[in-house]
Amino acid sequence: MLSQQHIDTVKATIPLLASAGTAITEHFYQRMFSHNPELKDVFNMTHQRTGGQPAALFNAIAAYATHIDNLEVLTSAVMRIAHKHTSFNIQPNQYDIVGHHLIETLRELAPDAFTQDVEEAWGAAYGQLAGIFIKVEGDLYAERAAQLGGWKDFRRFRVASKTPESDLVTSFVFEPVDGGAVIDYQPGQYLGVKLHPKGNEFDEIRQYSLSTTPNGKNYRISVKREGAGDIAGVMSNYLHDHLNVGDEVDAMPPAGDFVFQDKQTPVVLISGGVGLTPMQAILNTLAKQQYRQPVSYLHACAQPSQHSFKDHVNSLKDQLNLSVHTWYEQADSAEEGVSNGMMQLEAIKDSLPLTNGEFYLCGPVGFMMFVKQQLLTLGVEADRIHYELFGPHQDV
C-alpha cells in the first residue's frame, strides 16, 4: 500500500517526466535490451525503431503518475494493456526486470532530482502497478486455461489454408497440431502469433484480429502485407511470402478488450483498410445469431483491388438487416453504395442511428480520429464509440 508521502512524491515528479518526455522510455528500452537481450524475443522491435512503443510507454507512465491517487480512472487502460501482455505470454518475473531498468533509467537521466525519497516512492509505485498487472494477467491466463479448448503458454498450430482476399490481404487458418479443441473468443479479439522468420536473430510476436466466427476447431486471421523496402513489416511479409499450408506457428489464446457488446441496439461498424478484419468476426457472428437490429457497415480503402471480403459482406444482407456503404480514395466508381474520396458521414447521416446506435471503429489512427470527430460532431456520445488500434496504443 502506498503511503501519502509516496503518492505526493510521485506526483511531484510529473513536471520532470513531462520535460524529459519520451527520452525516458527510449533510454529505458535501450538499457533493458542491452542488459537483457532475450527480451527482444518478446517486444516488437519494429515499434521500437518507429518510436511507437516508447511513446506508448511514456504516456502510460505519465498517466499512472497523474492518477496514482485515483487508479479507477485507469481501469480500462489496465485491462487493455493486460490483454495485450497475455498475448505475448508476459510472466511475473519479467516485471522485476522492467522495474529495475525503469528505476535505473530515472537515476541515470535525472541524478540530481532522483533523491532517496524519489527512488523509494517510485519503487513503491512501480511495485503497486506491477502487482495490479500480475494479478489481472494471472486471472486472464487461468480463466482461458479452464475453458473448453483453453491452454496456457504458447501452443503449436499448423497452417490449414492460405487464401488471398485482395491485393494486400491474405487469410490464414490455423489448426492445433495436437488435434484438440480451441477456446472460443469474443468477436473483435485477436490472436498472438509467434514464429522465427528465417534470417532473424530473434522471435517475432504479433497480434492479428480473428476474422470470422469462432468454431471451436481452428482460428482464422487475415493479414495485410505492410510496407515495402526498408520499412516492410517483418512479420506480415514473412507470412505472405514464406508461410504456407503445412507450416507451423505458435499462438497464445485469443485476447483483447475490443469486443462486440450485445445491447440489442442498432450497430454501426466502421473500418479503414485492414481494420475490416475484426468487423468480419462481428458481422459473421451477428449473422449466425440472426441479429434483428439494423446493422450498418461502412468501409474505406484506397481502391477496389484492395477491398477484401466485399462479396462476402454483401452476401450477409440475406441474413441481416444490413446496409453497406464503401468509400474508395483513389478510384472513381459509379457502383451503388460506393462513394469516391475520403469517408464523409454527413452525406449519409440520415441513414445512421446517431441517437441510439453503438459505433465500432478500426483502422489507421488518423482515419479513426477523422471518423470519431465526425461522429461527435453529428451528436454521437463518446461512450457509444468503441475502437481497436493495431500497434502501440494511442488515444483516438
Q: How confident is the model at residue 332 (pLDDT cuts 50, 70, 90)?
A: confident
For range 79-97, the mean pLDDT: 94
Q: Over the stretch 29-57, which tens digit does the pLDDT of each residue have?
A: 999 999 999 998 888 766 676 666 778 88
Annotated binding site for NADP(+): 273-278
Annotated binding site for FAD: 190, 206-209, 389-392
Q: Which domains does the chain have, with CATH numbers?
A: 4-146 (1.10.490.10), 155-251 (2.40.30.10), 267-388 (3.40.50.80)
- Is the Cα torsion angle 360, 227, 239, 310 positive or negative in sign? positive
Annotated binding site: 85, 190, 206-209, 273-278, 389-392
Residue 186 has pLDDT above 80, yes or no: yes
Q: Which residues contact 339 (CB under 8 A, 6 or more apart)?
A: 325, 326, 327, 328, 347
For range 197-214, the mean pLDDT: 92
For range 75-103, the mean pLDDT: 94
Active site residues: 95, 137
Characterise 290 by phi-psi region: left (phi > 0), alpha (psi -120 to 50), beta (else): left
* Cα(31)–Cα(348) distance, integer angstroms: 51
- Which residue is associated with the grid cell 475490443? 258
DSSP 325: E
Alpha helix stretches (DSSP H) within 305-354 = 310-315
pTM, two decimals, is: 0.92
Residue 391 has pLDDT above 80, yes or no: no
Q: How confident is the model at residue 335 (pLDDT cuts 50, 70, 90)?
A: confident
Q: Over the stretch 99-142, which tens digit does the pLDDT of each residue have?
A: 999 999 999 999 989 999 999 999 999 999 999 999 999 999 99
Contact 67, 75 (CB under 8 A): no
Q: Over the stretch 282-295, which tens digit does the pLDDT of each residue have?
A: 999 999 999 999 99
How much of the chain exceeds pLDDT 90, in percent?
A: 81
